[in-house]
Structure 1
Amino acid sequence: MTDDRFQRALRSLRGLAVGDALGSQFFVPVNYPLLGRRELPPGSWQWTDDTEMAGSVLAVLVAHGRIDQDALARSFAEHHDFDRGYGPAVNRMLRLIRQGGDWRELAAGLFQGQGSWGNGAAMRIAPLGAWYAGDPEQATHQAEISAYTTHQHREAVAGAMAVAAAASLAGDPAGAGGPEALLDRVISLVPRSAVQAGLRRARDMLDYADAGTVAAVLGCGRRTSAHDTVPFALWAAARHLGAFEEAFWTTAQVGGDVDTNCAIVGGVLAAAGAGAPPGEWQGRTEPLPDWVPTSG
């Protein structure tokens, strides 16, 4: 492991945490008017399951240098905090893993054996893409492996692959290219799926300035599925490379699964040094868990 690799992944995790924690504040009705005025909510901001699971991704990469599925499932289960906003199916699965259940059987058995197509595998994966900055092929391969520990539906896996590829490209020291080049490359690395089809539409809508219109076409996580979340999040990230603050407000203003959308965008943008969140925002975000490595 190189220190640069670790620092990029940690930077991505911190950007993800800020997007997650600040985005989650806009599920509180008293804060709704602040979103329209682009004003920050008062107090400190607590992150959700998005950040908790992303912490496990980074911890496993540091310990193993790659994704070890057993170690990742074990970390998810051991650090699972019921109060962080997990969905009921994942809550139950992680509890059963702690009790000795086999993640392979449990993940495969979700939703009548179809596996989950939710956005959970995508929301946590940007730090892995940053770890493999400049090597999006390996990033997508490792993201696919990581997704299967909890999400085995084709769409959920494709969503995780797309976000990892975007973070890998954004974090490439040689440069990600422009928005269209980034999305074209992501599309080429994602298998044929509803996620890929959504990404093609996202690329074709890069010249749209109205995020609400784009979200109406692509979805913004209201159904918490990968294909209803990832295309819009990567549209927002691609349009705002190097501009974390503007990316956050553009993403959050459309509603939907705000914390997850903003976690994905934050993790992708922060993979590049120029995309780090404002210092004040980082200072008001709950610190990462003490079990997450902060030095490589």
Structure 2
Amino acid sequence: MIPDPRNSERLLRALASLRGLALGDALGSQFFVPANYPALQSGALPPGVWQWTDDTEMACSVVAVLHAHGSVDQDDLAASFAQRHDFDRGYGPAVNRMLRLIRQEGADWRTLAAEMFNGQGSWGNGAAMRVAPLGAWYAGEPEKAAEQAELSAYTTHQHREAVAGAVAVAVAAAIAAGADGREGPTALLDAVIALVPRSAVQAGLRRARDLLDYADVATVAAVLGCGRRTSAHDTVPFALWVAARGLGDYEGAFWTTARAGGDVDTTCAIVGGIVAARPDGAPPAEWLGRSEPLPAWVPLG
């Protein structure tokens, strides 16, 4: 196979998104520390090094597989998830079990993912939380991002809603990373909605588009959900509402997301990955310096 010369640029974009995702994840997770909550609500940053969670660990595998293959290789992606799996990073019990069985017993990811939740597959937000760097990899190619996001989702989440959530996030990141600065929030969400299959996620995105002129984040979160149920359709529409309004302003987008509550590390990871995919969406350097570094096995070019 002849290497695609575009992959070096793709990797740089994916890494920019990954850093934004990891920072959103790590800083967002600080909202679950009771001692930090009052300060965070006022906009003060917590002390120490902010550690990322499973959101970032799995996103790192997505980037590593894209770098190795140029596209999603499902077997390699599932193997990477299992090999890199750190129980203490906050994985859900179903995914913990799945990755342990793959790693220790050589179980087939296809069977395990299909059997989850009585054969319905998981509709959790895990496939969406890790996929923004894939969208950045396919900057300006939203259809390709949608196709590859679906493949990436199926390795762990096979419910229609989880797949739709992953597609939505990847498409948003692909559009943001390839933007020329002329797109607005409505145009972004319209483009995402057009590529997301009919689902509760798509219906939520339509509501998100209709709420773009709302200033009260609490009201929007109450209508769309902000991850309290950890489902794709309770997470992705709100995250894309924030990202669409916050392109070019990582710091503002983070605080808007975090103060809504819910599954804060995941919503902030999704928003951070989309916003940072855009050239003018880099996170504050001080914040990056206080976040846990990416693992050494992540390809840096």
1:10 corresponds to 2:15: yes
Report the CA distance between 1:35 and its aligned residue. 2.2
For 1:11-90, what aligned pairs fall within 5 Å after superposition? 11-90=16-95
1:217 corresponds to 2:213: no
C-alpha distance in structure 2 between counterparts of 1:236 and 1:19, whole Å: 13
Q: In structure 2, what residue type is equivalent to 1:190?
A: V
Q: In structure 2, what residue type is equivalent to 1:135?
A: E
Report the CA distance between 1:34 and its aligned residue. 1.4
C-alpha distance in structure 2 between counterparts of 1:134 and 1:102, whole Å: 34
Contact 1:170–1:176 (8 Å) recurs in 2: no
Deviating more after overlay: 32-41 vs 105-114: 32-41
Report the CA distance between 1:147 and its aligned residue. 0.2
Count of matched residue pairs:
295
Contact 1:134–1:174 (8 Å) recurs in 2: no
2:158 paired residue number: 152
- SS of match in other structure, 1:109: helix
C-alpha distance in structure 1 between counterparts of 2:274 and 2:23, whole Å: 12
Report the CA distance between 1:175 and its aligned residue. 4.0
TM-score with structure 2 setting the length: 0.97
C-alpha distance in structure 2 between counterparts of 1:114 and 1:22, whole Å: 33
Runs (4+) off by over 2 Å: 173-176
For 1:262-281, what aligned pairs fall within 5 Å after superposition? 262-281=268-287
1:121 corresponds to 2:127: yes
Question: CA RMSD, aligned part only?
Answer: 0.8
C-alpha distance in structure 2 between counterparts of 1:212 and 1:294, whole Å: 38
Deviating more after overlay: 209-218 vs 31-40: 31-40
State percent identity of aligned pairs: 76
Q: Deviations over 1:276-295 (max 9, x none)?
A: 11001100110001111011
TM-score with structure 1 setting the length: 0.99
Contact 1:169–1:175 (8 Å) recurs in 2: no
1:205 corresponds to 2:239: no
C-alpha distance in structure 1 between counterparts of 2:111 and 2:156, whole Å: 10
Could you tell me which of 103, 109, 113 is aligned with 2:109? 103
- SS of match in other structure, 2:298: coil
Residue 51 to residue 176, structure 1, CA distance change in 2 (3 Å): farther
- SS of match in other structure, 1:122: helix
C-alpha distance in structure 1 between counterparts of 2:89 and 2:168, whole Å: 25
Report the CA distance between 1:6 and its aligned residue. 1.0
Contact 1:176–1:182 (8 Å) recurs in 2: no
